Every structure is written in C-alpha cells, then in structure tokens.
Amino acid sequence: MKNLKIMDSETNEFFLFHGTKKDDIARICKDGFDARLSGTSAGRLFGYGTYLTPNFSKADHYTEDRTSSKRLKKDAVRTVIVVRAALGAPYRLTAPNPEMTVPPPHPVDGAPYDSVFAPGIQESGVGGVDWPEAIVSRDSQLLPAFLVDYKHMNSCTCSECLKRPA
C-alpha cells in the first residue's frame, strides 16, 4: 500500500476504497463512518470496524446486496468512496478473527493498536482474504473524501459480473 500513502508520519495516512450499497452513501457523506453499522451485510472476517481496501475491484464487491436474487444489473451505476484513513500503528493479523472488537494492546504503551491490517494471500498473508484489507474501529480515523461513480460495461466478464444479471 506504500504507493497510496499521502503522509509520512505516525498518522500512517492512506487513500483507500470503501464499497457500500447506494442507500448507505448519503448517510456516510453526511455523518461520517459508523463502525457500529459495519459488517451488518458484508460480514466481519477480521472483527469489528469499517473495512477498507487499496483494491478498487474488492470495493466493487460491496456495492450491492450479494444475495443472488438482489444483485444489481451488470451495467448499474455504482459508487465507491475514496477514504482518507489514518491507520496509525496497525496490528497485522495472521488469521481471520471475526470476534475481535478492539485491536490487541500495543507492546510499547499497552493501548490498543490503531487499526488492523490483513495483508492478503499474495503478501504471504491471511487465509480467507485474496487482497489486503484495513479495518478501523475508531470512526475519527476515517474521512470520506471523494465518491467515484462508475459502471461495468454490459460486455464485462469480470468475476462479479458473471454473477450479475445483464
């Protein structure tokens, strides 16, 4: 994620993507992120918090209800949020941990790590996740910065579009 880093300090700040359903976008833009609402539809493989990714295609997965009968049409307009995320000192997870509500204590000061980082299987990482993810449970570390509206072409054959109605 180094190439997305926008500040080189202890804030460890990145631009990351957050995909969510259309109905949630206005609320997040108005009130900010609310970790209490995270994972209610997308699952919580790495515990409580708002899930972010450096991979746009991963965020794309969460722009719709993934129940097959409720998927959006392939060429529907979708929205992904570009988030300024201060990851601080991230805790590197070595296995899924859906029950984690707060990151473990940092050895230096005993306070919880500021975020959780799951490196993804390509970086010798965690089983169960293909691409890296960052999980932030403290909403003040996240700022929705931009919205990206886009759509897949009707002829798209990406792995998600193969499951979407034409």
Which residues of this chain interact with Zn ion, rule CB under 5 A?
152, 156, 158, 161
Min dist CB 61 to Zn ion, Å, is 11
- Cβ(120)–Cβ(148) below 8 Å: no
68 burial class (0-12, 13-18, 19+ CB within 10 angstroms)?
Answer: exposed
Which is closer to Zn ion, CB of 101 or CB of 154?
A: 154
Min dist CB 60 to Zn ion, Å, is 8
Min dist CB 67 to Zn ion, Å, is 18
Which is closer to Zn ion, CB of 71 or CB of 106?
A: 71
Q: Residues with Cβ < 8 Å from 12, sequence gap 6 or more?
A: 5, 86, 87, 88, 89, 90, 114
Which is closer to Zn ion, CB of 75 or CB of 139?
A: 75
Which is closer to Zn ion, CB of 4 or CB of 158?
A: 158
Map residue 70 onto helix, strand or coil.
helix
- Cβ(59)–Cβ(17) below 8 Å: yes
Min dist CB 39 to Zn ion, Å, is 24
Map residue 69 onto helix, strand or coil.
helix
